[in-house]
Amino acid sequence: MKLISNLEQLLENINTVENYLTEGTEEEQIEVSDLIRRGSCLISYQVNEEVRFAPSRFLGYQKNSLKVYVRSQVDGRDTNVVINRILNAKPFPDESLRIKYISYCENLGLKADNKKHKFWKLNLKNDFQKNEELSGEFPEGKIVERIHKSRERNSQVIQMAKQNFKNKHGKLFCQICDFDFEDNYGSIGKDYIEGHHTIAVSDMTTDYKTKPDEIAMLCSNSHKMVHKKRPWLTMDELKKLTKKV
């Protein structure tokens, strides 16, 4: 494996790590999460007010991927040298960054190893494209939002939840405000509703498998309101709010 030689290659690998976390298969999400959890030297990269972390041993090789990385069985000691040169700095212990790293891991459903950590600091002027497209509704950050939306796009569990709801109630409607897309929009709205995970990503382990009965049926407006507060509003709490209007 060839070591990276410039910042563009480093950023490309950071983007790869983010994509594995948010859109990878279950196995890929577990593997890259474990790399982050076990990392000793990590790049802390900040976009706006959000700080994220990625392990140096994965970032230091050109066009890296989990398949290539696992097959190569590299130990990653050479990566620190090239990252030092690219960032013109050495990794250093930083208690405030360590606390943010632990919080970042927790938001991903991980428990950071109890070891000494060293960090490089990298400030990005612009976020990666797939993050820029998000709404920013999640206080935990864009990565958690992408993971959440990825889970909500899991068509199998969502479709099972919708079918179970339809079998019980005869049709699909919002569990908060009773909005029915078919009643309001005709045939184009038939069988349309948004599925919401009632368990936050931060409360899930990386290998957590969502059950159909953990999916709530919500209209678009109610779904947005659920994400407006942390911890998320429960169904009963939202229903009480709508009654006050």
* pLDDT, the chain, mean: 88
Domain identity same for 108 and 161: no
Which pLDDT value is given to residue 155? 67
User: Is residue 142, in this structure, part of any structural domain at all?
Assistant: no
pLDDT band with cut points at 50, 70 and 90 for residue 154? low
Report if residue 1 sits inside a domain. no
Q: What is the pLDDT of residue 25?
A: 83
* pLDDT in the model for residue 97: 96
Instruction: pLDDT band for 225, please (50, 70, 90 cuts).
Output: confident
- Regarding whether 169 and 91 lie in a shared domain, the answer is no
Q: Is the pLDDT of residue 245 over 70?
A: no
Whether 207 shows a pLDDT value over 80: the answer reads no
Mean pLDDT of 96-123: 92
Written as one string, the DSSP assignment of the chain is -PBP-SHHHHHHHHHHHHHHHHHS-HHHHHHHHHHHHH-SEEEEEEETTEEEEEEHHHHTBTT--HHHHHHHT---TTHHHHHHHHHTS--B--HHHHHHHHHHHHHTT----SS--EEEEEEESS--HHHHTS----TT-HHHHHHHHHHHT-HHHHHHHHHHHHHHHSS---TTT---HHHHHGGGGTT--EEEESS-GGGS-TT----GGGEEEE-HHHHHHHTTSSSPPPHHHHHHHHHH-
Domain assignment of residue 173, given as a range: 154-244
Same domain, 15 and 97: yes
Statement to judge: residues 178 and 89 lie in one domain: no
pLDDT digits over 41-96, tens only?
A: 999 999 988 999 999 999 999 999 998 887 776 666 789 999 999 999 999 999 99
**Same domain (yes/no): 120, 14:** yes
pLDDT at residue 234 in the model:
75
Residue 179 sits in the same domain as residue 66: no
pLDDT greater than 90 at residue 244: no
pLDDT at 10 over 60: yes
pLDDT of residue 233 exceeding 90: no
Q: Please count the structural domains in the chain.
A: 2
pLDDT attached to residue 4? 95
Mean pLDDT across 118-142: 88
Residue 168 inside a domain? The answer is yes
Residue 45 and residue 88 in one domain: yes
Residue 13 pLDDT > 90: yes
Asked if residue 183 and residue 125 are part of one domain, the reply reads: no
125 and 227 inside one domain = no
Q: Are residues 125 and 168 in the same domain?
A: no
Q: Does residue 139 lie within any of the structural domains?
A: no
Give the pTM.
Answer: 0.77
The answer to the question of residue 161 being in a domain is yes
Of residues 52 and 144, more confidently modeled: 52
